[in-house]
Amino acid sequence: MTSSTNVQTLKNFIGGQWVDSTGTERVIVPNPATGAPLAEILLAGKEDVNAAVAAAKSAFQKWSKTPVPKRARILFRYQQLLVEHWEELARLITLENGKSFKEAYGEVQRGIECVEYAAGAPALMMGSQLPDIATDMESGMYRYPVGVVGGITPFNFPMMVPCWMFPLAIACGNAFVLKPSERTPLCANRLVELFQEAGLPDGVLNVVHGAHDVVNGILAHEGVTAVSFVGSQPVAEYVYKTAAEHGKRVQALAGAKNHTIVMPDADLNEAVKGIIGAAFGSAGERCMACSVVVPVGDIADELVDRLVKAADEIVMGDGLEDGVFLGPVIRDTHKARTLDYIATGEAEGATLLRDGRKDPGTDGQGYFVGATIFDHVDSTMKIWRDEIFAPVLSVVRAGSLDEAIAIANKSEFANGACMYTDSAKAIRQFREEIDAGMLGINVGVPAPMSFFPFSGWKKSFYGDLHVNGRDGIEFYTRRKMVTARY
């Protein structure tokens, strides 16, 4: 179906069929590097959610009883198809999200790794037994899928984040309804298409495109047993509370403000390389982005100097072009919000060392903001407190490691934290005292791989069981305990 904008109107995928949305409100999906429309969606509503949940419920009957090795075999085929379509998927990610092709290529790898982990379901889903709990008595734990799972995902990882959810949920025998970000809906459709091609039965994976109405439909639907959410903090909190109110199991991953501490003994070449990659890669639109650097002691002047020089070298542009490192932010509205934050930082008295508003390319059609660095930021400032989610880096100087850790721990977020040092003693203190679920030691973006849980704390996570790793298996299964006398 084509509309007046002459771009494709994306359909929903329900019960193994591409179906038109019942929605009437159109949302254009532009290429953030050019502003040109790529596609459009019609924001779906409750009716579409009801149809998707009904299809998932019906598919669940058979899929949950399909032998686990047989389910895993479909995951293996899916993995092969994703590998075959690697470049195509990476291109789609760059087109709709704006990140560089290299970053997008890496994202596809992260998605594939989730499928590889999920293909281990036969071993991962095993229960456990104790043959002698009393004379002639035994006890055993058996693991089962939970039912229909709803997945709600953000714009910044159009492949990796959905792949944190549906491959493992489905490998565990659940059926799934995915609501991708309305800002990056293209990749999701290709992901589901390839899964069907791998042999996934109709209705096991459904996609409904939309915004809050679809989310609310999923949260309130009595046919949905569990909800996985990834997105900003206020929405994560809302989803967590609302899903729980409706009696659902829920995991909600939220925003971040990640600090990187640089000790006086750090290898500055490595630190600068790591910080530049973590602060400005993917235009700072990563929940594991480094948004605050905390140099300890005398190292500060030299570090800051080097960061500015390295930021001057960054190539900004369309992520599909060779050599581009920094792509656009996701929308013109997000660009405007970022520029507001830069103005706020100046008004708050921080020293604007590098003003990304002035970089060439920032006045064109795409939504570009150059690498921006503020020095002498402190924890009273809004630019320190809020997640800006853009290529804006703050430097907060500290006199000691104790002070650096205290600064980081003041944040209401606690997703990741990094440290550059060679000192085992400092590493131990950092590991023991920092409030964050994912730590990097001489590593810029310490995102755990799919066989470990993605482990944010404080306002970066709402729930109990995280995505991926053993937590993922626990979240997507429920247990039956059998106690027997013979």
Give the nearer residue to ligand NAD in terms of CB position, either 63 or 475. 475
CB-nearer residue toward ligand NAD: 161 or 294: 161
Determine the size of the site formed for ligand NAD (CB under 6 A): 28
163 is catalytic: no
Largest CA distance in the chain: 79
Choose, by CB under 6 A, the member of 195, 341, 454, 476 that binds ligand NAD: 454
Backbone φ and ψ of 363, nearest 5° = -105, 10
Distance of CA 291 to the CA centre of its chain: 16
Binding mask 153-192 for ligand NAD (x = CB under 6 A): xxxxx---x-----------------x-xx----------
The answer to the question of residue 291 lying near ligand NAD (CB under 6 A) is: no
Q: CB within 8 A of 14, min separation 6: which ones?
A: 48, 51, 52, 55, 203, 206, 207, 208
Give me the least distance between CB of 289 and ligand NAD, in Å please.
8
Least distance (Å) between residue 239 CB and ligand NAD: 7
**Is 183 one of the annotated binding-site residues?**
yes
**What dihedral do alpha carbons 311, 313, 314, 318 form, nearest 10°?**
150
Distance separating alpha carbons of residues 196 and 207, to the nearest angstrom: 12
- Judged by CB under 6 A, which stretch of 28-36, 81-89, 108-116, 224-232 contacts ligand NAD? 224-232
SS3 content of the chain, % helix, strand, coil (to 5): 40, 25, 35
Q: Is 387 annotated as a binding residue?
A: yes
Catalytic member of 163, 187, 287, 418 = 287
Contacts (CB under 6 A) with ligand NAD, residues 415-434: 415
Residue 400: closest CA among 295, 302, 304: 295
Q: What Rg, from alpha-carbon coordinates, does the chain have?
A: 23
Phi-psi region of 61 (alpha: psi -120 to 50; beta: other; left: phi over 0): alpha
Supply the minimum distance, in Å, between the C-beta of residue 421 and ligand NAD: 26
10 binds ligand NAD (CB under 6 A): no
Q: Is 182 annotated as a binding residue?
A: yes
Within 8 A by CB and 6+ apart from 215, the residues are 152, 179, 235, 239
Residue 49 CB, nearest approach to ligand NAD (Å): 12
Which residue in the shown chain puts its C-beta closest to ligand NAD?
231
CB neighbour list of residue 89: distance below 8 Å, 6 or more residues apart: 82, 104, 108, 111, 159, 187, 190, 191
Rounded to whole angstroms, the Cα distance separating 186 from 38 reads 9
Q: How far is the CB of 188 from ligand NAD (least distance, A)?
A: 10
- Shortest spacing between CB 238 and ligand NAD, in angstroms: 6
Which parts of this chain interact with ligand NAD (CB under 6 A)? 152-157, 161, 179, 181-182, 211-212, 215, 230-232, 235, 253-256, 287, 387, 389, 415, 454, 456, 460
Q: Active-site residue numbers?
A: 287
> What residues form the annotated binding site?
155, 179, 182-183, 387
Residues at the binding site for NAD(+) are 155, 179, 182-183, 387
